[in-house]
Amino acid sequence: MQYIKGKDRSQCTLFPLCLDEIIDPAHDVRFIDLFAESISLPAFAFVAKQSLEGRPAYHPKDLLKLFLYGYLNGIRSSLALEKQCHINIEVRWLMRG
């Protein structure tokens, strides 16, 4: 019996797919991204403290996108959300890689 074989994982391609081509134009993550980018955080009295010490923080809108994705998909744990950032292509697109 013949089976479909996957591609060699170590093989490089000349024109790799970008994340934007992989995600469907009507996917939920595109709505989350559009919604979070359209919100004015200061209008909701959101104050972001900035510090020059240590590692730079993530942008508050990026964290909002991640939390919205988690709530819509039943992921409540921040540890589980971190794991999704590494393994889920949708979240990688949402968080810009």
The pair of structure tokens assigned to 26 is 């009507």
pLDDT at 78: 92
* Separation of alpha carbons 97 and 90, rounded Å: 10
Over its length of 97 residues, how does the chain's per-residue pLDDT go in tens digits?
677 777 777 877 777 778 888 889 999 999 999 999 999 888 888 877 777 888 888 888 999 999 999 999 999 999 999 999 999 999 999 998 8
pTM, to two decimals: 0.79
pLDDT at 22: 87
Q: Name residue, tokens 């540890």.
A: 79
* Separation of alpha carbons 41 and 28, rounded Å: 21
pLDDT at 1: 67
Query: In 3D, which of 67, 61, 71, 68 has the Cα closest to residue 41?
Result: 61
* Separation of alpha carbons 40 and 35, rounded Å: 10
